[in-house]
Each structure stands twice: as C-alpha cells, then as structure tokens.
C-alpha cells in the first residue's frame, strides 16, 4: 500500500471515530446501553478500538519484521557485480550499509542502470534485519550531477508518460530504514532531489546543492520544487529553481537543508557513526519514529499530531518500550529485541 493511501486510510479512520456512529463495531455495541451514558460509553469503546487497532498494527509490524529473509551475507562485503554502485557493510557491529554511487566519469549522473541498481540494493538492505541504517554517498567531486542528460535528451513527451519516467526513483523515499545522504561535491538536479529523499543529509565542506534544470529548458521532476520548498521555504527554493544557482554547504546548513557540515575526508565516517548511533536503539521504534516524522511532510498538523499520538500509544504494546523504561529505572543500558 502506498504511503499516501495509508495516510488517507488513517484520515478516514479518524474521521470515522470523530463522527462516532460511522464507527460501527463500537457504536453498535454502545447503542444497547442506556442513553445518558451513551456518549461516554462510545468514547471508551472507541478508544479501546483505537488502542486495539494500533496494537494489531504494531504486532503485525513485528511479525512482518520477523518474517524478513536474512540477506545479510548477500551484500556483506563488496559486491563486484554492480556496474554503477559499490556496496559494503561496515561499523563496529557491521550494521551500517554504505552505498556509493560509482560512475565517476559522468560525475555520477543518474542513468537508468544506476537507479535500478540503487533500487535493488536499497530493497535488499531494507529487508535485512542486521542493517540498522544506510549511508548513501558519491565521490569527493560529485554526489550526483543530476539525471543523465545525455540519456534523457531524446525522450519525447509520450515516452515519458507511457514509460512512467521517474517511477523507479521513489525507492529511496519508500525505504523504511533510516537513510543518511553523505554529500561531497555536486548534488545537482536529480542529485539534490536524491539527497532530499534521504532522511538526514550530512554535507562535506565543498558540497554544492542546486536545481539547474531551468537552464536545460525543463523543471525539477523528482521533488525539487516540493521537498526543497518544504525544507528551506518558498523564497529560497524559488530563487534556486528559477535561477539554477547553487548554494554551498555552509549556506545549505544555514537554511536547514543539511544537518551538519563536515570535512570532506571525514564525511562518510561521520555518517556511518550516525547510523551506528541510530542502530543502538530499537529498530522497530526507529521505524515508527521515522514514519511519524515523515508524516509531517504528508499531512496537516492536526492529522499529523493524531498520527503521532496514536503511534506513541502503539509503542506501549512493544517489548522494547517496556525494556527502555525499565532499563532507565534500573539505571542500566537497555537491551532491545526489536519486538
Ligand atoms: N548528465 C550526463 N552527463 C553529465 C552530467 C549529467 N547530469 N553532468 C556531468 N556529466 C558529464 C559531462 O558530460 C562530462 O562528460 P564528458 O567528459 O564525456 O564530456 C563529465 O560528466 C564531466 O563533466 P564536466 O566536464 O561538465 O565537469 P565540470 O567540472 O566542468 O562541471 C558540472 C561540473 C558543473 C556539474 C557540470 O558537469 C554540469 O553542469 N552538469 C550538469 C548539471 C545539471 O544540469 N544537472 C541537472 C540535470 S537534469 C535533472 O537532474 C532532472 C531531474 C529530474 C528527475 C530525474 C529524472 C530521471
């Protein structure tokens, strides 16, 4: 089910709760109670239903996680079969995957082959229970200089529509595991959009971000006008999209596009450390937390707050929530089981 569908499903669910009588199981039971306590009975029953729904949701997440095939060994060391990317698993606990875009002669221009390999690697790491976080990086000169202009130049309108051009680009945004973009050099056009699909962006000191599509007679097509605007506000995003001007790492940090600027040669190591830190927590709760933060981008404040509250409540059905609080009380480190 797509994210949008899940959100709209949730909205419908809350709407149903708010109008009471549409929420059949609770209200039909309540109608058999006396009238003066009807509304409070309804509320109590509906709250119970909500709690049950989120418990079931959390349990099914746990069960789904347990069913995931173990594919740790597949990409555990570098996989030589890739043409456009490199992959490795690293960190003290071998729980952070690093995917390096590897098309140096074209400044990591995002051709179809590269995007398909990236998608495949992300899907595999996404299913791998031993991977806590994924780092996506490029070279010192370029994270990615955009979509492959030479490859897409001959495309016609009908080919774009019929071939669903860009459809393969969404895997990064769909991945449930945290993804950290470690951006050195150019992140332009689709490269900037790819970084913005990640959850956190760390930038090397010489990184440059831009949406130069306007100079090519086109516009950003993978989130540049949308995610950039949400990240840095309308005026700055508009200026970047309409001029094609780049901003440097320091400015990107100032406007909130990236969370940290780091010397280029330490960038990937720092991103891996961040992935390791995230990996010290329960992966189940990390997944719920990521989903909740992302909901802020997809819905209204009120619906987002409801989603957050119910997800918070759902954590009370997990063993890791119990363990986390118990460990605090007992003044010891928590031992999470991701359940
Ligand atoms: N596509 C294809 N090839 C590229 C690209 C690109 N985006 N960027 C660089 N290259 C190639 C160059 O053609 C060159 O190849 P060759 O040696 O065979 O001529 C090689 O990489 C090195 O590039 P330069 O010689 O130009 O290197 P410079 O250091 O002089 O300049 C720049 C670096 C400033 C990054 C420059 O290469 C540049 O401006 N590149 C294009 C940047 C750009 O316009 N990006 C936006 C592309 S459009 C886009 O991303 C739309 C996204 C929509 C969603 C995704 C759709 C799939």
DSSP string, 278-315: HTTS-HHHHHHHHHHHHHHHHS-HHHHHHHHHHHHHHH
Predicted local distance difference test score (pLDDT) of residue 135: 98
The CA distances from residue 158 to 30, 154, 165, 166, in Å, are 56, 12, 10, 14
Query: Do 142 and 191 contact (CB within 8 A), yes or no?
Result: yes
Higher pLDDT: 303 or 50? It is 303
Ligand 1 and 189: CB distance under 6 A: yes
Q: What is the pLDDT of residues 9-35, one digit of tens each?
A: 444 333 333 333 333 333 333 333 444
**pLDDT exceeds cutoff 50 at 101:** yes
Residues with a known catalytic role: 147, 190, 193, 213
**pLDDT exceeds cutoff 70 at 252:** yes
Quick one: pLDDT band at residue 73, thresholds 50, 70, 90?
very low
Quick one: pLDDT band at residue 78, thresholds 50, 70, 90?
low
Predicted local distance difference test score (pLDDT) of residue 24: 35
Please choose from 104, 149, 159, 244 the residue to mutate so as to test ligand 1's pocket, defined by most ligand atoms within 8 A of CB.
149
Residue 313's nearest CA partner among 52, 40, 139 is 52
3-state DSSP assignment of residue 241: helix
Q: 212 CA distance to ligand 1 centroid (A)?
A: 10
Predicted local distance difference test score (pLDDT) of residue 97: 98
Predicted local distance difference test score (pLDDT) of residue 127: 94
Q: 147 CA distance to ligand 1 centroid (A)?
A: 8
Average of per-residue pLDDT across 193-221: 97
**pLDDT exceeds cutoff 70 at 194:** yes
Ligand 1 and 109: CB distance under 6 A: yes
Ligand 1 and 190: CB distance under 6 A: yes
* Least confident interval from 56-60, 125-129, 282-286, 289-293: 56-60
**pLDDT exceeds cutoff 60 at 104:** yes
pTM of the model: 0.81
The CA distances from residue 39 to 31, 34, 43, in Å, are 9, 10, 6
How far is the C-alpha of 132 from the C-alpha of 155, rounded, in Å? 39
Give percent of the chain above pLDDT 90: 71
Angle at 194 between CA 237 and CA 179, to 5 degrees: 115
């Amino acid at each position: 089910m797509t994210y949008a569908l899940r959100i709209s499903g949730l909205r419908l669910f809350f709407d149903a709760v708010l109008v009471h009588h549409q929420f059949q199981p609770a209200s039909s039971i309540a109608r058999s109670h006396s009238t003066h306590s009807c509304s409070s009975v309804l509320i109590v029953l509906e709250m119970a239903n909500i709690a049950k729904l989120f418990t079931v949701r959390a349990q099914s997440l746990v069960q789904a996680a347990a069913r995931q095939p173990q594919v740790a060994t597949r990409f555990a060391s570098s996989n030589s079969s890739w043409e456009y990317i490199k992959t490795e698993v690293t960190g003290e606990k071998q729980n952070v995957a690093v995917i390096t875009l590897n098309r140096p002669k074209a400044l990591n221009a995002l051709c179809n082959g590269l995007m398909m390999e990236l998608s495949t690697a992300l899907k595999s790491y996404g299913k791998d229970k031993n991977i806590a976080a994924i780092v996506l990086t490029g070279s010192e000169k370029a994270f990615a200089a955009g979509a492959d202009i030479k490859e897409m130049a001959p495309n016609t309108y009908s080919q774009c529509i019929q071939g669903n051009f860009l459809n393969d680009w969404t895997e990064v945004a769909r991945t449930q595991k945290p993804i950290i973009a470690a951006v050195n050099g150019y992140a332009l056009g689709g490269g900037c959009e790819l970084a913005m699909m990640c959850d956190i962006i760390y930038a090397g000191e010489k990184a440059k971000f831009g949406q130069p599509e306007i100079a090519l007679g086109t516009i950003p097509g993978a989130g540049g006008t949308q995610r950039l605007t949400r990240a840095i506000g309308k005026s700055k995003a508009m200026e970047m999209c309409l001029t094609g001007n780049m901003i440097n790492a320091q400015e990107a940090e100032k406007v909130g596009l990236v969370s940290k600027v780091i010397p280029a040669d330490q960038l990937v190591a720092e991103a891996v450390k961040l992935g390791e830190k995230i990996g010290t927590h329960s992966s189940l709760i990390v997944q719920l937390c990521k989903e909740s933060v992302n909901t802020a981008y997809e819905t209204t404040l009120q619906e987002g707050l409801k989603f957050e509250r119910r997800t918070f409540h759902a954590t009370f059905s997990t063993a890791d929530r119990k363990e986390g609080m118990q460990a605090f009380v007992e003044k010891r480190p928590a031992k999470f089981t991701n359940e």
